[in-house]
Amino acid sequence: MSLVLSSASRRSVVPEDWLAEVQSRLQPDENASAWVLVDLNGALKFEKIALILTDRRIFTASWREKNWQSWPLAEGQRLHQTDHAGVGQLELSDAQGRLAVWRFTLGLQEAVFRWVAQFEAQQSRRAETLSGVPADLQGKPLQSAHVSVCPVCQARLSEDDDECPVCSREDLNPPSTWTLLKLWRFARPYKRSLLVGFLLTLASTAATLVPPYLTMPLMDEVLIPYQNGAEIDPGLVSLYLLGLFASGLLAWGLGWAKTYILALVSERIGSDLRTTTYEHLLKLSLEYFGGRRTGDLIARIGSETDRINVFLSLHLLDFATDVLMILMTAVILFYINPTLALVTLLPLPFIGWLIHVVREKLRTGFEKIDRVWAEVTNVLTDTIPGIRVVKAFAQEDREAQRFKDANAHNLQVNDRLNRVWSLFSPTVTLMTEIGLLVVWGFGIWLVSDDQITVGVLTAFLAYIGRFYSRLDGMSRIVSNTQKAAAGAKRIFDILDHVSSVPEPLHPVALPPQVKGHITVRDAEFRYGNRAVIRQLDLDIQPGQMIGLVGHSGSGKSTLVNLICRFYDLSEGVIELDGTDIRQLKVADYRRQIGLVLQEPFLFFGTIADNIAYGKPEATREEIVAAARAAHAHEFILRMPQGYDSLVGERGQGLSGGERQRISIARALLINPRILILDEATSAVDTETEKEIQKALDNLVRGRTTIAIAHRLSTLRKADRLVFMDKGVVVEEGTHDALIEAQGAYWRLYEAQQRHAEAEAVLGGSDEDKKVSA
């Protein structure tokens, strides 16, 4: 038996006593090939559980309790890996159903990916051999691989990691060329144009094959007889030259037409692909964006779709032309002289084998390049929007070094792939040159033996030139095909992702007049292994204002996110006017909600455009009315172009209070039945708060309102206060009733009052008087 384990996790250390325990449980001649430590048990509590893969079974045990279990490996078994709300799940199943389930935090996702990859590789080898340990692992000691650091997120990388698994957070399986077939769903609307393009390609290729065929009679009936003393027939020469000119002109015209038509089609396919990907991305839940980098998503929709577009418009057309040229040329060659044609095909098996070998290298290489390039983009998307913070803390050199490291990593991965490609392309060219020399030699021998004429050899060599040049071109297309396949995989990683906030199959229509009655029953929500909301019940009557208070981390913002359906409950139900919100169309439901955040987000554009963001068809009169109600009209008129004044990116050029009042006007304009105020006045001074509070008084009138505030004094107008702690409701009632009860709310209120009085005595600023609730 063998205990040479390859760790799927690059960060784990195995105690010697544990290794001895594993050794004692191995059967005779059983080899353990890979292991990984997951960190959650069935109750989602932190506990280390070891998964060991051998050539015969999977066996596992808790690190602490040593409760060993095992499952023999068999045909049809598979491992399925998913993640939800920060928890990864690995499921072992066979044709009869689920065998076992293990859970882990997403920090171990890359390690589990590696372990699953070794399981799949081992299962594929089982059909040929029962040896479970690869030869390259035999005799290797159990030790950590050399590690480096990701220049973007500072995660540890092993020496064979070309991309950061933490930054990518997705399936690391290499892309398959078959992924390109998924593009047919985007090409289907243009199938007629594609058919026309294919027929034009066929005709254009046939036209280009006419000139070499005409060289045979030119050589045998004109030039060679002339060298032997015969007269040149001008009419015959003119006929052949006219045929050459006509075929060349026809090939040019057909080539222009096919290129133009297929270029138009590919541009439309690329445009549809970008639009569909972006639309699908917008429909995904906030959970998806929480695990993705902005730069990576931008790179996918931008550069990856461009790469696919170039492949469809240029390289795929070249590939089709090359295939047609090779097939049609081969037919003509065998028609002219079968023996010489067979000699021509001698280099083909070696070139085919070489293409297969290099293709396997390129499959993973180009996706790694895409991921590493996303690292460079991520540095830019981190730094440029946060340039004020970078300069404020004098971290220009540090950010420049981050970019330099990411750029150097990109260069390293490209160099590694270029070493493969630089050897491949000249080797194919050398094979075609050798093939041409063989044809020359064999052809000269056939001419000397009077088996063929010089004209036949000349035509043959002309066709051979086309044949080998197309063969060389096809070998180069392998690179472009794998690039496009890598890009298509990254695009379909988005398109195939199912939102964790799905649309209902049979949505319930909202009534014309929504009352705004919100009911929360038995609500539970977990993020990762942490329970954020637990058995929460809440009833909010139409038009009622509810204040959510509690210490930081008590679950207030999470509850608001659940009511907005940015996430779905793990258990329980949230109802609007008696209907489960999961039965309503997401867009219809969210149109009933107005959201005012602590840090309002404004888009680049005019003030009027930002106010009308939720209702683009709003008239100028409606926009002005909303701004007046939000107490924003006066400062807007003081701006150079009034409502047509441009707002910088993220509201640059406006104060925090001005941005907040514009966001209130934006919420007022859509006239929502439900209003969410998430610490809307916590980031402004007292005078600005008074202005915002006047605007909020107009906003909450007649609407169901849920408010979160740092300053408890701002919630005195609430009909009811709900004090939360660790995801449960601790106290509930009016301000006066809760003060009289002298419970958790009273203690928090008194603490704020004492702090405010102390700051007043010391002359502290109003901004310092905020106490986080």
Q: Which whole number is the average pLDDT over 142-160?
A: 41
Residue 474, pLDDT score: 64
Sign of CA dihedral 100, 103, 106, 108: negative
% of the chain residues with pLDDT over 90: 1
CA atoms within 13 A on the CB side of 643: 18
Residue 761, pLDDT score: 62
Examine the pLDDT at 147 and tell me if it is beyond 70: no
pLDDT tens-digit series, residues 496-553: 777 778 888 888 888 888 888 999 998 888 876 677 888 889 999 988 888 888 887 7
- Residue from 97, 6, 14 nearest 53 by CA: 6
Tokens of 678: 């998430």
pTM across the whole model: 0.57
Q: Which distant-in-sequence residues (6+ apart) come within 8 Å of 191 by Cβ? A: none
| pLDDT band per the 50, 70, 90 thresholds, residue 759 | low
Triad 451, 452, 455: Cα angle to 5°: 165
Tokens of 441: 């030699």
Examine the pLDDT at 14 and tell me if it is beyond 80: no
Examine the pLDDT at 260 and tell me if it is beyond 80: yes
- Helices (DSSP H) in 294-347: which residue ranges? 294-299, 305-310, 316-336, 338-344
Residue 691, pLDDT score: 67
Q: What are phi and psi of 643, to 5 degrees?
A: -70, -15
The residues pairing with 69 across neighbouring beta strands, listed in sequence order, are: 60
Examine the pLDDT at 341 and tell me if it is beyond 60: yes
| pLDDT band per the 50, 70, 90 thresholds, residue 6 | very low
Rounded to a whole number of angstroms, the CA Rg of the chain reads 35
CA atoms within 13 A on the CB side of 625: 9
Residue 687, pLDDT score: 64
Tokens of 662: 């514009």
Contact status, residue 729 vs residue 538, Cβ threshold 8 Å: yes
Residue 519, pLDDT score: 92
CA 52 vs CA 4, 23, 58, 270, 746: distances in Å: 11, 11, 6, 45, 54
Q: Which whole number is the average pLDDT over 637-647?
A: 85
Q: Which distant-in-sequence residues (6+ apart) come within 8 Å of 677 by Cβ? A: 596, 696, 700, 705, 706, 707, 708, 709
Q: Which whole number is the average pLDDT over 16-37?
A: 74
Please, is 687 exposed, middle or buried when counting C-beta atoms within 10 Å of its C-beta (0-12, 13-18, 19+)? Answer: exposed
pLDDT tens-digit series, residues 364-393: 666 677 677 767 777 777 777 677 677 777
| pLDDT band per the 50, 70, 90 thresholds, residue 362 | low
pLDDT tens-digit series, residues 622-632: 898 888 888 88
- Identify the helix (H) or strand (E) that includes residue 441: helix 396-448
pLDDT tens-digit series, residues 552-595: 778 888 888 899 888 888 888 999 988 899 888 888 888 888 88
Residue 681, pLDDT score: 61
Q: Which distant-in-sequence residues (6+ apart) come within 8 Å of 565 by Cβ? A: 501, 574, 581, 582, 586, 589, 590
Count the neighbouring beta carbons within 10 Å of the beta carbon of residue 86: 16
Local structure of residue 640 (DSSP, 8 states)? T
Q: Which distant-in-sequence residues (6+ apart) come within 8 Å of 341 by Cβ? A: 330, 333, 334
Residue 157, pLDDT score: 47
The residues pairing with 723 across neighbouring beta strands, listed in sequence order, are: 549, 731
Tokens of 133: 């340990």
- Residue from 572, 683, 662 nearest 611 by CA: 662
Give CA–CA dist 383/295, Å, rounded.
11
pLDDT tens-digit series, residues 437-458: 888 888 888 888 888 788 777 8
| pLDDT band per the 50, 70, 90 thresholds, residue 137 | very low
Most confident of 216-225, 382-391, 397-406: 397-406
- Residue from 137, 90, 108, 95 nearest 37 by CA: 108
Examine the pLDDT at 133 and tell me if it is beyond 70: no
Contact status, residue 611 vs residue 665, Cβ threshold 8 Å: yes
- Residue from 558, 564, 552 nearest 525 by CA: 558
What type of residue is 379? V
Mean pLDDT score across all residues of the chain: 76
Count the neighbouring beta carbons within 10 Å of the beta carbon of residue 439: 23
Count the neighbouring beta carbons within 10 Å of the beta carbon of residue 95: 9
Give percent helix, percent strand, percent coil of the chain, each to the nearest 5: 55, 15, 30
Examine the pLDDT at 322 and tell me if it is beyond 80: no
More confident residue, 258 or 761: 258
- Helices (DSSP H) in 169-233: which residue ranges? 184-187, 191-208, 210-217, 224-227
